[in-house]
Amino acid sequence: MTPLLPTPDHYIYNLITMTSPEAKRMWRRAIKEHFDCQCVYCGEHYELHELTLDHVVPRYFGGQTITRNLVPSCRKCNQEKGTSNWLSWMRATFGCNPNREQLILSHIK
Ligand SMILES: [Zn+2]
């Protein structure tokens, strides 16, 4: 399993890889594996390549591209969430789910 580090550059600093594209691939994979290849919003499991990474705080609102702001999401949830507030959108779409909400909260804090 790939270690979960804060940014792609950390894979290079830690000599886990020597190239930037590989660092980015490892980083993206590590985030998905960290969540057991599950979409954090709907809770379904997917193959690695089927999952996207969602900015919890959208880039549009200044959300950074760092581990703490990225979670695996299926394409459908990623698209539907768009620039909505993740918690309001999630509750409106799936109802209240304390386990999944806590999973996200502990990742982004
Ligand atoms: Zn989903």
Nearest-angstrom CA–CA distance, 56 and 70: 6
Tokens linked to 2: 């790939």
Instruction: Categorize the per-residue pLDDT at 14 as very low, low, confident or very high, splitting at 50, 70 and 90.
Output: confident
Q: What is the pLDDT of residues 80-100, one digit of tens each?
A: 999 999 999 999 999 999 999
Q: 100 C-alpha vs ligand 1 centroid, how far in Å?
A: 12
Q: 16 C-alpha vs ligand 1 centroid, how far in Å?
A: 30
Q: What is the pLDDT of residues 18-77, one digit of tens each?
A: 899 999 999 999 999 999 999 999 999 999 999 999 999 999 999 999 999 999 999 999
Q: 57 C-alpha vs ligand 1 centroid, how far in Å?
A: 16
What pLDDT sits at residue 8?
94
Among 101, 108, 107, 105, smallest CA distance to 42 is for 101
Q: 38 C-alpha vs ligand 1 centroid, how far in Å?
A: 8
Q: 2 C-alpha vs ligand 1 centroid, how far in Å?
A: 23
Tokens linked to 81: 């969430």
What pLDDT sits at residue 2?
85
Name the residue with tokens 């490892």: 26
Phi-psi category of residue 65: left, alpha or beta, with phi > 0 → left and psi -120 to 50 → alpha: beta
